[in-house]
Structure 1
Amino acid sequence: MKKIIFITGTSTGFGKLAAIHLAKQDNIVIAGMRESSTRNKNAADELSKLSNIEVVDIDVTDDLSVKTAFEAVLLKHGRIDVLVNNAGVVGYGLVESFNIEQIKKIFEVNFYGTIRTYQAVLPSMRRLKNGLIINITSGASGHTLPFMVPYLASKFSVESLTEGIQEELRQFNIENVSIQPGAYPTEMTDGSKKSMDGEKSDISAQYEPVASEMLNAITSGLFGKMQKYNMDPQVIVDGITSLINMENGTRPLRLPLDQIAEGTDKEFIEKRAEIKARWLEKYMG
């Protein structure tokens, strides 16, 4: 049976690739994006011409927009089998250089936007006692890095959501998984997609020259590794596809997809799960 798959953030990157790939597999893909008739019109038109893709305008930072988009899809199709929370924004800079409003904007998209889509889709999934929600987080969202603290904090918040809500949803046969990508060449990393960067240049200047030296070392290493390991965004799309095709009850809570990490990401997840199990035993046992 065809699956109804709702993907947010499909104007670029992982979201767009996933929409095209999953539609070719004879699923019905709801390609969500904001400003589909203006700034992202070209992407919307491109996807709309493809079989099995329906473009829906949605701004995950807006309550009414999210509510309207999901209600329209549910009215037409009666269900949403899979939700892929891919919409996201990145931000670089020293913590002290960020205005609070900038940090709030990062969280509005990455965290609160995810909460909004959960609350919009869960009533129908609970009613049908079936559903899968896939959250795209970050390979570093289980810890953090300098110059990316607000961004990674927002992604770690989604990790917390994914982990905590899994047990809440178990009785309804609804699963959720976080995919943890490493560094991939997409619009989010090549600078073509607007980011929410620290704006207080007077503060940043007081960290120089050390801050620039550290940042240059991090970014040069990052882009160098992407080339060395030939990081291909299709890996993330294949990960999404594999999760969708798995039998209910067999999906992992987290799926790290980062060749650069050379297995340390998987080791981190396994150790964390092991320690949590022992912690729970102390409290619940």
Structure 2
Amino acid sequence: MSKTIFITGTSTGFGKLTAVTLANAGHSVIAGMRNTNDKNAVAAKELGAIENIEVVDIDITDDTSVKTAIEKVINKYGKIDVLINNAAVSGFGLLEGYSVDQVRKMFDVNVYSVLRMYQAVLPSMRKERNGLVINITTGASGHTLPFMVPYIASKLVVESFTEGLQDELADYGIENVSIQPGVYPTEMNNGSKAGIHADKTEIIEEYGTAATDKFNALGTALFGKMAQFEMNPQTIADGILELVNMKKGERPLRFPLDAIAQGTDKEFIEARANIKAKWVAAYTN
């Protein structure tokens, strides 16, 4: 059955691939991206030429833009069955080397935009008593790594949104799922898409070459694994399609697709759920 699906961040990477994959499967896709008339004009034209895809200009960091875009879509299509919160920005560097303003920028894109999108679509979904929200987080969504602290912290918040809202929205038939991608050769990781990095150069210089060497070693290890496992971003798009087509009530809270993790992500998710169940039982019984 065809669904109306809104995806953020479709100019590149997972978002673009997912838009094409879902449209080719017969779903009506609204591909959200900003700057459709200038910076992203080529991507907008490319996606807009594909059957079942409509490109909508949206700046997820702007309240008015989000509200206007969602109202436009609901007025045209009547509802939004699925929201995919894909848009995000990465960032690297020492935590002490980040200014508060730089972290705030990171959270505005990766955290507050997700909240904006939820608050824009939920009234319609609650009215329909039906909906699915898929949040793209990170393969490190249950722990953190050095030199990526603000980025991973932002994704941990989205994991919290997903888990908490799963209970809050249960009475309205709205499901929430997070996908935790590992390292893939997308624009976010290959340097072609600007990130929000540590910006306090004087602090970075004080740490010296030791911190730089550790950062480079971590990057080399992660990118080496990406090559070793031949990570294909299409895996994430196919996983999203699987979730969209999955029978309601059978979708998991977390949907791990990280080949590099070699199953440890699944073990972690299961352990996390078991520990939470024991915690809830201890506190509520």
The residue number in structure 2 matching 1:43 is 43
Partner SS, residue 30 of structure 1: strand
Query: Residues of 1 paired with 2:183 and 2:79: CA distance?
Result: 34
Shift of 1:205: 1.1
The residue number in structure 1 matching 2:149 is 149
Shift of 1:2: 1.9
Matches within 5 A, 1:188-227: 188-227=188-227
Shift of 1:213: 1.2
Amino acid across the alignment from 1:94? L
Percent of aligned pairs with the same amino acid? 60
1:133 and 2:133 equivalent?
yes
Query: Residues of 2 paired with 1:35 and 1:102: CA distance?
Result: 22
Matches within 5 A, 1:77-226: 77-226=77-226
Amino acid across the alignment from 1:254? R
Give per-residue Cα distances to partners, 1:72-100, cap 9 Å, x unaligned: 00000000011000000011010011111
Gaps of 5+ in 2: none
Matches within 5 A, 1:249-264: 249-264=249-264
Amino acid across the alignment from 1:39? K
Shift of 1:142: 1.0
RMSD: 0.6
Partner SS, residue 169 of structure 2: helix
Gaps of 5+ in 1: none
The residue number in structure 2 matching 1:248 is 248
Shift of 1:221: 0.5
- Residue-pair matches, total: 285
Give per-residue Cα distances to partners, 1:222-269, cap 9 Å, x unaligned: 111000000000110011001001111100000111101111111111
Query: Residues of 2 paired with 1:6 and 1:231: CA distance?
Result: 25
Give per-residue Cα distances to partners, 1:89-112, cap 9 Å, x unaligned: 011010011111110111011110
Query: Residues of 2 paired with 1:163 and 1:239: CA distance?
Result: 19
Partner SS, residue 179 of structure 2: strand
The residue number in structure 2 matching 1:57 is 57
Shift of 1:210: 1.2
Give per-residue Cα distances to partners, 1:188-207, cap 9 Å, x unaligned: 00000000000111101111
The residue number in structure 2 matching 1:70 is 70
The residue number in structure 2 matching 1:276 is 276
Scaled by the length of structure 1, the TM-score of the pair is 0.99
Shift of 1:128: 0.6
